[in-house]
Amino acid sequence: MHCGCVSEGMPSVPNSYWISGLAFPDWAYKAESSPGSRQIQLWHFILELLQKEEFRHVIAWQHGEYGEFVIKDPDEVARLWGRRKCKPQMNYDKLSRALRYYYNKRILHKTKGKRFTYKFNFSKLIFVNYPLWDVRSPPPPLLMGAANMYQPAMIPTGMQSEVTAQ
DNA sequence: TCCGGAAATC
DNA sequence: GATTTCCGGA
């Protein structure tokens, strides 16, 4: 007996997701079939839950700061994460430790004062997966919270297959 | 609840 | 390298 957590793949991935009016390019969390073939990373997973309404009672975006989210049900998030990684003993204490390691990596930041509230540092996240972006060029619209200004032209829609234009 | 060191694990 | 596990401390 293992833990029936092998499957649960997400093959069909659109070019971008819209969350609360904000666009999420797929390259921001491409976990599957990546050149390095690594395992799913926690922040990828968090983003996954965040993009599905079915988990709104477990984890959801917060109004106000762009990228800020609240874990409404820590135990459930830990269970889901544990299932994905085949770690039945996972709990929020351990998961949050992993989250804390993101502080130095500048992927995540804690919103002090607010319980179970963290904030993504998308400027970092995007550069991590999209190093081609020039730091000196105008700030990506999706980082500013002005989703309506989202420019599809800036995102290579066929980037999943890596070998495309560019 | 949250933090971060240390060691272990994959 | 990215967690997972354990834990003393604030």
pTM (2 d.p.): 0.69
Per-residue pLDDT 10s for chain A (166 aa) are: 555 555 444 443 444 544 444 455 555 545 444 445 568 889 989 988 998 889 999 999 988 778 899 999 999 999 999 999 999 999 999 999 999 999 999 999 999 999 999 999 887 776 666 555 544 444 444 444 333 323 332 333 333 333 333 3
Q: Tell me, what's the pLDDT at A152?
A: 31
Instruction: Identify the residues numbered 79 to 118 in chain A whose C-beta atom is closer than 7 Å to any atom of strand C.
Output: 81-82, 85, 87, 89-90, 93-95, 97-98, 101-102, 105
- A112 Cβ contacts chain B strand, under 7 Å: yes
State whether residue A26 is helix, strand or coil. helix
Estimate to the nearest angstrom the gap between the alpha carbon of A72 and the chain centroid.
17
CA of A164, C1' of B4: distance in angstroms: 43
* A130 phi/psi in degrees, rounded to 5: -145, 60
Alpha helices, H only, chain A: 42-50, 74-84, 92-105, 122-129, 141-144
CA of A161, C1' of C7: distance in angstroms: 44
Q: Tell me, what's the pLDDT at A21?
A: 43
Q: Tell me, what's the pLDDT at A3?
A: 58
Q: Tell me, what's the pLDDT at A73?
A: 97
